[in-house]
Chain A
Amino acid sequence: MIVAKRKPLNEIAEMLAPYKKVTVIGCRSCVAICLAGGEKEVKMLVSALKVKNKRDGRKQHIEGTVVERQCEKEWVQEIEAQILDSDVTLSMACSLGAQTIGDMYPKHLTFPGLNTGMFGVPEEQGVWSEKCVGCGNCIIHTTGGICPIARCAKSMLNGPCGGSANRKCEVNLEVDCAWAAIYDRLKLQNRLDLIESVTPAKDWSTSHSGGRRVFEREDAKLTPHQKKGKGVT
């Protein structure tokens, strides 16, 4: 899922300070699961900002709401009135949610309440870690199911660098060396031969390096005729 982290509250308060009417919008998907922007986090944020306003004697109307998936127009549309009725929207979804609202209502101000971090997984309660960078050409069938591009600090394709000590990464001694993990996994699977030969230069054009990516599925797309019928713009 997409893992995000709330921005420091002072940064959020400063962003919102000039506006009279604020709508905070959370999302029930990824950011709810990573405890950054779900219903509860929205409520706490709204409450904390109100306490701050009370102390500072600032008159500001803040209300919070939450949608199912903020990255989908259909869900956002349901709260259109509430969005447009405010001076600014603070999105507590990942940047995709914030940009969806922004693209739908370009005149309206939409600010990010979260820092969107990564594609990650919950490792244990309260801990999330990065496992994919979306390079657009998955190779983990050759690396024991562990992604060296996301999980190695240097995205190495041919094994561990010389800084791997005690199977930890030289960049962060708390983090496992991805290549030590790959080695162990392949050993377990009896497939060490996979990393005996040289993996050649990776074609990064499928990643963000190739420019902004748009994926399409022709059979799922609506024809112009269908679009007209559905009233979708």
Chain B
Amino acid sequence: MKAGSNLEKVFESGQFAVTAEIGPPQSANPEPLTHHAKMLKGYADAFNLTDNQTAVVRLSSIASAVIIMREGVEPVIQMTCRDRNRIALQSDLLGAAALGVKNVLCLTGDHQTFGNEKGAKNVFDFDSIVELQVFDQLRTQGKQVGGEVLKDPPKTYLGCAENPFATPYEYRASRLAKKVAAGADFCQTQAIFDMDMFEKWMDEVRARGLDKKIHILAGVIPMKSAGAARYMKNKVPGMIVPDHIVDRMKSAKDAKGEGIKLCVEQIEHLKTVKGVHGVHIMAVAWEDIVPRIVEMAGLLPRPKFES
């Protein structure tokens, strides 16, 4: 065991994992976090706490993690390279570990021009792969990137994200290979709508034997409406939503119901894809739907371990 997190245990026990997302609020009020933690407890193995997602200022992911841990829910903190240099990143890794946070997801981060602080100076001292490599060295050797050796290294389970739908497609499996080499233990993918394309990527991943070295959680997003489908198709860079999905959402009488059905179908299918070890459900601003989806997809009860 690298960190002994619940998520790690699920993977190690060979069971199909479920992660979901909780978006920290744009305020200093911890209430929405506590509320979601209570509601979602037991429906996923760990929950991602986004790090100022889309560069919008929000309650910090580490603080959010501590808040949901009080409710007995396991966090995965996201840590982007956009806002912190190597001093801050390493320091926050130590801090998070000291607070009992065991899962960390390394991300480069959305550019600040997407958010609500467009005048910000960005950092990007690292990209996500360098971040993984540095964190991995820190946890395994206790060695900082600058060479200093620490007494009590952090025990952290390291994750990454990968997007099979971003260009150049031919390089996307290589990116995952680099992340594996850099020390990633698990990978959450971008939301999958184009199943064929995802499977093509998985073929390549398996051909390189990467599925044996990293636990892949396939990303899904339940959609509320045809508008949401169209928005993701046209407005979100690096997201591919095929026309048949948009059409299906459009012709549905009950769009929400259809969105849930579609998501469950996707999960059912993903369970059969070799090398996929779990799903990551990103119900952005629709967190309350997660329990239903998990239940409908036959993923309950979630495994429990003696701690």
Contact = CB atoms under 8 A, between A and B. Distances in A.
Q: Check whether chain A touches chain B (CB < 8 angstroms).
A: yes
Interface of A: 153-167, 170-171, 173, 177, 179-180, 183-184, 195-202, 204
Given A199-B130, A200-B130, A164 B175 contact: no
B168 A154 contact: no
B140 interface: no
Interface of B: 81-82, 86, 108-111, 113, 122, 124-130, 133-134, 145, 161-163, 166-168, 170-171, 174-175, 177-178, 181-182, 190, 237-239
A162 B168 contact: no
Given A154-B108, A170-B238, A201-B145, A162 B190 contact: yes
Contact of B111 (A158, A171, A184, A199): A171
A158 B127 contact: yes
A159 B167 contact: no
A154 B122 contact: yes
Residue from A167, A179, A180, A201 whose CB has the most chain B CB atoms within 10 Å: A201
Contact of A165 (B122, B181, B238): B238
The 5 closest A-B pairs by CB, nearest first: A162-B163, A170-B237, A158-B129, A163-B237, A156-B127
Contacts of B177: 196
B111 A159 contact: no
A173 B166 CA distance: 13
A42 B125 CA distance: 40
A197 B125 contact: no
Residue from A154, A157, A177, A204 whose CB has the most chain B CB atoms within 10 Å: A154
Contacts of B174: 159, 195-196
Contact of B161 (A158, A162, A177, A180): A162
Contacts of A177: 167
Contacts of A164: 166-168, 237-238
A204 B166 contact: no
B219 to A, nearest CB: 11
A87 to B, nearest CB: 34
A129 B126 CA distance: 24
Given A164-B166, A200-B133, 4 more contacts: A154-B81, A156-B108, A196-B174, A197-B178
Contact of B130 (A153, A179, A201): A201
Given A160-B168, A164-B238, A165-B166, A198 B129 contact: yes
A184 to B, nearest CB: 7
A98 B220 CA distance: 55
B86 A201 contact: yes
A156 B166 contact: no
